[in-house]
Amino acid sequence: MSLLVVGLSHRSAPVSVLERAALSADAQVKLAQDIVSAEPAAEAAVLATCNRIELYADVDKFHAGVAELSTLLAQHSGVGLEELTPYLYVHYEDRAVHHLFSVACGLDSMVVGEGQILGQIKDALARGQELHTAGRLINDLFQQALRVGKRAHSETGIDRAGQSLVSFGLEQLADGADVAGWVAGQRALVIGAGSMSSLAATTLARLGVRELVIANRTLDRAEKLAASLGALGQGSVRAVPMSAVPEELAHASAVVSCTGATGLVLTAEAVADALAVPEGASAVMVGSVVADGALRAPDGSLVARLAETASRDGRVRVRDLGGRPAEGGDPGCPVGLDEAHTSVTAGDPAQHGVWMENAGGTAVIAPRQAVRHRSGSVRMALLDLAMPRDIDHAVHRVPGVRLVDIESLADASADAPMAVDVDQVRDIVAAEVAAFGAAQRAARITPTVVALRAMAADVVAGELARLDGRVSGLDEKQRGEIQQTVRRVVDKLLHAPTVRVKQLAGEPGGAEYADALRTLFDLDPETVASVSRADMNDRETDAENRGRS
């Protein structure tokens, strides 16, 4: 059996393909189970993050394994095999080990040196153990990858040089400003309470965000996260259900979203509506209509300016949504006809929204401060770390909005300087790959050596039984001395050959030595196989115990 990796990542595929190929948690489970059900694979694990999908399997045939894994990935992702194939990469045996170790060290990440991938590798291993799709090879491989990743971060400066995807995203949102200073003045909304969203919330809290709101479908999880972050004492932290997102969005200046949703969480219309709510207002927006029944004209619209002019004559009372009289209009033409309004027309639904009849009430038109396009002030900064995306890409066309998503992060990271310790980490990876390969090759001969020693023990036991029958009158002390002497002779005869064969087995082509031992000593193949199965069961039990501890 040999290790095979088939996958695609931000390095091989555009974000648009990654987004379509993204796997839900249930799809990952089913995919892992289907892999081990396929003929070429004995064990498997699925590593899926926001910028990679990789299938790891122990296969007995390379070409059959590649074909099967590629087909299954296409089936479960919903992207046709012909379309997916040009973006796939394949690694085999030592190259597959090298790839995972590099991934664990952050060398293959969008942000070189980031440490979040270690948690994602740990989750992939835990899922494989729970599903019993991870056998001896996958367990050994992923556990060693975690150790290699930790070593790289502790022995080199890549840990200091690398950023998390969250930190890198916040840096892009700050657009050149000091990130801590920029965050400190924000009212942030984090949507989701999974690992990435939790990291985002934690990062914002530690940077001293002014106010932090966490929205999640499972409110209890959001509340637990909010309670833990509230203990930091950096600012106001609270949890809300997902149904409260429209209202919270109206008060937020920074939004981070990373959920497992398959559809959009925030549409361009929802963001535009949120920006239309005056600061300090608490009305919930439905389309462009205020929930308290009041009518509102969008900022800068002809209707709003006419209303301001009419209010000066006492014909219409103009108030903002907080109930305060609106400030007077600018001098000049009362309705602003002396300004350029090429992008605003009275019949433009995108500018005016939906109007409702106000039965029997006085029209209350709420003017809003002017919103400039991205080239001007940014009133809402959005960071979308989900795959597939949570936030409609069209929001970048909404005035006053800055959007950073996986696609823009990929572009920005391509220009980012490499950490100075990358070469040192690569040396660590190369050494660890060689050590892992030697250990795996040596491990393959262990069942044969164990079977050889078991056969020798059986021979010794049989001969001692014959001795008891032929020589009478031996007391217990004498019998014990004879048994120890015979066993020491056998152990000494086997010691040097078995130690040497393990050393030789660690070298390329070492599997031939196991074959030679089985042939020379006429070892029962079933005995060797039973030792292998027992060893695998022991390893799986140890791995599960470590996972629970």
Binding residues for substrate: 49-52, 109, 114-116, 120
Does residue 50 have an active-site annotation?
A: yes
- What tokens were used for 109? 């990440």
Q: Which residues are within 8 A (CB) of 545 and not within 5 positions of it... i.e. 6 or more apart?
A: none
**CA atoms within 13 A of residue 190's CA, in its CB half-sphere:** 31
CA torsion 541-102-206-230 (nearest 10°) is -20
R_g of the chain, CA atoms, integer Å: 33
Place of tokens 């940077």: 207
Length of the chain: 549
Binding-site annotation, residues for NADP(+):
192-197
Query: Is 507 in a helix, a strand, or coil?
Result: coil
Active-site pick, 50, 105, 258, 333: 50
List of residues 6+ apart from 446 with CB closer than 8 A = 502, 531, 535
Burial (Cβ within 10 Å: 0-12, 13-18, ≥19) of residue 112: buried
Comparing CA positions, the residue from 279, 284, 251, 248 lying closest to residue 265 is 248
The 10 Å CB-count burial string (b at 16+, else e) for 357-370 is eeeeeeebbbbbee
Task: Sheet with 2-9: list strands edge to edge.
Answer: 41-49, 52-59, 2-9, 89-92
Alpha-carbon span 418 to 534, nearest angstrom:
46
| Cβ(152)–Cβ(106) below 8 Å | yes
Give 159's contacts (C-beta < 8 A, 6+ positions apart): 113, 115, 152, 153
CA distance 438 to 502: 10
Residues making up the annotated binding site are 49-52, 109, 114-116, 120, 192-197
**95: CB partners within 8 A, 6+ apart:** none
User: Which helix or strand (DSSP H or E) is residue 89 part of?
Assistant: strand 89-92
For residue 154, the one-letter residue type is S
Is the N-terminal amide bond of 278 cis, ω within 30° of 0?
no
Q: Measured between alpha carbons, how far is 201 from 212 in angstroms, rounded to an integer?
A: 8
Pull the structure tokens for residue 182: 């920029």
CA distance 533 to 528: 9
Residues catalogued as catalytic: 50
